[in-house]
């Protein structure tokens, strides 16, 4: 494969930052995409600090191996199958979560992501990147809302953490990318910018979803103690780049983007610090955004200035409701369905 390889750099900020995070005994943390990369580091870090880990991974040998690794480390972990390319699988995962989290869910980390994939539709008709990276996370968050509320009521707060990217920077969010228009969103022709525009739109959606959720839950559910936060890892040497290359990322543009990322990339431990701070920093406020400062630069996860765009946030909310079939984001009855 034509993917450039760079030695994984040593972690520079991980140990110091993790020491500032609290113990997590008695907390339940659900993480999408923790077979590798930042999600796996988060699972290991939170598990080592006493949390129970719910691994939301699509079925694979990688998912089984990641579960076994946590169990070998003495971490209380459970694997719930969740394929973010299928809304039906997300719905099944939410049902399973209600069964395995009777004490509620303290943190939902919407971490999983794919990057630079061809212009293909999922079985639900959506862009494969937008459905995996944003739409399914929108649906999942809505479906597990009662579990977040249960944790917030029992233990004072719960959090939703979304994982964006430096690649979010670019044109404003467009409704077409959020609809069932998969396979018809720029194509894969020369010079091959379409896949990167689709990724940009999906990562921008992660950040705007954070803000849209922050505003709407404050209005719909005042005082319930749930925080909506976001992070971006900075360029990180994870499994992501190889997957892009293996999915046909062989054009000059693809190679340039992957090379530029890996040339400056930091370790996955350092890349995970944004979601760790958003998830567990005791000072973190709802609506906060953590990550390295600057576009395409590695560095310690810091509190970043907000990037609000109310019109795009409103459009994202309406389109995401419509495409996922959610009628009222805050009124899914996952928990009560179980006890009914």
Ligand X SMILES: NC(=O)c1ccc[n+]([C@@H]2O[C@H](COP(=O)([O-])OP(=O)(O)OC[C@H]3O[C@@H](n4cnc5c(N)ncnc54)[C@H](OP(=O)(O)O)[C@@H]3O)[C@@H](O)[C@H]2O)c1
Q: Kindly tell me which residue out of 192, 233, 249, 300 binds ligand X, with binding defined by CB under 6 A.
A: 233
Residue 165 as a binder of ligand X (CB under 6 A): the answer is yes
Count residues binding ligand X (CB under 6 A).
Answer: 34
If phi > 0 it is left, if psi is from -120 to 50 it is alpha, else beta; for residue 325 that is left
Residue 236 as a binder of ligand X (CB under 6 A): the answer is yes
Which two three-digit tokens encode residue 312? 């795009």
Residue 240 as a binder of ligand X (CB under 6 A): the answer is yes
With CB under 6 A as the contact rule, which of the stretches 16-24, 105-113, 186-194, 277-285 interacts with ligand X?
Answer: 105-113
Q: Kindly tell me which residue out of 36, 210, 267, 334 binds ligand X, with binding defined by CB under 6 A.
A: 36
Q: Kindly tell me which residue out of 28, 38, 45, 141 binds ligand X, with binding defined by CB under 6 A.
A: 38
Bridge partners of 290, per DSSP, are 231, 303
Residue 162 as a binder of ligand X (CB under 6 A): the answer is no
Residue 58 as a binder of ligand X (CB under 6 A): the answer is yes
Q: For the chain, how are helix, strand and coil distributed in percent, rounded to 5?
A: 45, 10, 40
Is residue 136 classed exposed, middle or buried when 0-12, 13-18 and 19+ CB atoms within 10 A define those classes?
A: buried
Name the residue with the smallest CB distance to ligand X: 37
Phi, psi of 12, rounded to the nearest 5 degrees:
-110, -30
Q: Kindly tell me which residue out of 42, 97, 115, 258 binds ligand X, with binding defined by CB under 6 A.
A: 115
Residues 160 and 103 sit within 8 Å (Cβ to Cβ):
no
Residue 266 as a binder of ligand X (CB under 6 A): the answer is no
CB of 244 to ligand X, least distance (A): 9
Residue 33 as a binder of ligand X (CB under 6 A): the answer is yes
What span, in angstroms and rounded, lies between the C-alpha atoms of 306 and 63?
34
Residue 182 as a binder of ligand X (CB under 6 A): the answer is no
Residues 233 and 164 sit within 8 Å (Cβ to Cβ):
no
Give the CA distances from residue 302 to residues 9, 110, 185, 274, in Å, rounded to whole numbers and listed in that order.
20, 19, 34, 7
Q: Kindly tell me which residue out of 45, 57, 312, 323 binds ligand X, with binding defined by CB under 6 A.
A: 57
SS3 160: strand
Residues 152 and 217 sit within 8 Å (Cβ to Cβ):
no
What span, in angstroms and rounded, lies between the C-alpha atoms of 90 and 96?
10
Q: Between 63 and 152, whose beta carbon lies closer to ligand X? A: 63
CB of 121 to ligand X, least distance (A): 14
Residue 163 as a binder of ligand X (CB under 6 A): the answer is yes
Residue 39 as a binder of ligand X (CB under 6 A): the answer is yes
Residues that bind ligand X (CB under 6 A): 32-39, 57-58, 60, 62, 82-85, 111-115, 132, 163, 165-166, 232-233, 235-236, 238-240, 243, 261
């Amino acid at each position: 494969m034509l993917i450039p390889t760079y030695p994984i750099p040593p972690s520079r900020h991980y140990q110091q930052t993790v020491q500032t995070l609290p113990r997590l005994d008695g907390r339940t943390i659900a993480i999408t995409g923790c077979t590798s990369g930042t999600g796996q580091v988060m699972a290991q870090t939170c598990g080592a600090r006493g949390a129970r880990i719910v691994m939301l991974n699509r079925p694979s040998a990688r998912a089984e191996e990641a579960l076994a690794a946590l169990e070998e480390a003495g971490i209380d972990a459970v694997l719930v199958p969740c394929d973010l390319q299928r809304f039906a699988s997300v719905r099944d995962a939410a049902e399973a979560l209600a069964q395995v989290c009777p004490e509620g869910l303290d943190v939902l980390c919407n971490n999983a992501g794919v990057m630079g994939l061809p212009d293909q539709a999922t079985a639900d008709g959506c862009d494969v990147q937008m459905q995996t990276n944003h739409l399914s996370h929108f649906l999942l968050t809505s479906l597990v809302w009662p579990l977040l509320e249960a944790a917030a009521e029992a233990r004072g707060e719960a959090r939703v953490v979304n994982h964006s990217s430096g690649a979010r920077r670019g044109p404003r969010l467009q409704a077409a990318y959020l609809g069932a228009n998969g396979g018809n969103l720029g194509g894969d022709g020369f010079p091959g910018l379409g896949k990167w525009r689709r990724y940009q739109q999906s990562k921008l959606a992660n950040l705007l979803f954070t803000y849209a959720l922050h505003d709407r839950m404050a209005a719909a559910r005042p005082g319930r103690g749930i925080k909506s936060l976001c992070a971006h890892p900075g360029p990180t040497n994870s499994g992501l780049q190889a997957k892009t290359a293996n999915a046909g990322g062989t054009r000059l543009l693809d190679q340039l983007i992957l090379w530029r990322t890996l040339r400056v990339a930091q370790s996955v431990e350092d890349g995970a610090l944004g979601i760790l701070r958003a998830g567990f920093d005791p000072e973190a406020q709802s609506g906060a955004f953590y990550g390295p400062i600057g576009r395409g630069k590695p560095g310690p996860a810091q509190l970043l200035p907000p990037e609000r765009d109310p019109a795009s946030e409103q459009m994202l909310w309406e389109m995401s409701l419509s495409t996922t079939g959610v009628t009222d984001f805050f009124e899914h009855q996952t928990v009560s369905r179980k006890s009914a």
